[in-house]
Amino acid sequence: MAYDLEEQEQLETFKAWWKQYGNLVILTVTACVLTIAAFQGWRYYRHQQALAAVTLYEQLTQAERANDAKKVRDIAAQITDKYAATPYAAMSALAAARASFDTGDLAAAKAQLQWVIDNAREEEVRDLARLRLAGVLLDEKKHAEALALVESKHLEAFSGRYADLKGDILAAQGKLAEARSAYQLAFDKSDAQSAYRAMIQAKLDALGDVK
């Protein structure tokens, strides 16, 4: 009987507590369940987006191997439009820019590279896009714009390539002493065994002892 009485008291205490806090508990549990469901739903959505993007990207790489520039650009446009949040979007835009450049459509190449600069999440991808955009601008003889890009902040891993292109821009402007300094920096940053270093050395040799 004592046990029953104690149990009854506990039950009454619980009822009183539930009357006061029950709605809050229900709301809290419901919120947790909805949060978990939303998170799982978001993960599923992201997974499906990535699957769709990689399928299209595989088609893009096949088009690249077939030298089908139009198809490369068309598929890249689909990926950047529908799956911009995936890493494949930036890679697709870079591929489209290369296809546009190779076919002489510099305006399209610049737009695609600018898209990467504005939207890519990975810093190294943005740095690569800036480097390529500066190269396109150099081809258009837009030296000031190209120089601004190569003088922008970038990862240390790109220092040599940025310095090399800066040398090209300065040389095109007739600033040969400054170009030599840029090439020297690119040379110093390059791998001693790389063919790329030999190319930079050739540029230094071509400039000679300029002042």
Residue 8 pLDDT class (50, 70, 90 cuts): low
Q: pLDDT tens digit string along 186-206? A: 999 988 888 888 999 999 998
Calpha distance 120→124 (Å, rounded):
9
Q: 84 by DSSP, 3-state: which?
A: coil
Q: pLDDT tens digit string along 56-80? A: 989 999 999 999 999 999 999 999 9
Q: Using an 8 Å Cβ cutoff, are 92 and 119 in contact?
A: no
Q: Using an 8 Å Cβ cutoff, are 52 and 82 in contact?
A: yes
Query: Does the structure show a pLDDT above 70 at 179?
Result: yes
Query: Does the structure show a pLDDT above 80 at 131?
Result: yes
Burial class (CB in 10 A: 0-12, 13-18, 19+), 34: exposed
For the entire predicted model, the pTM comes to: 0.75
Helix, strand, coil abundance in the chain, percent, nearest 5:
85, 0, 15
Residue 118 pLDDT class (50, 70, 90 cuts): very high
Q: What is the model's pLDDT at position 14?
A: 53
State the average pLDDT over residues 102-127.
95
Strands (E) across the chain are located at none
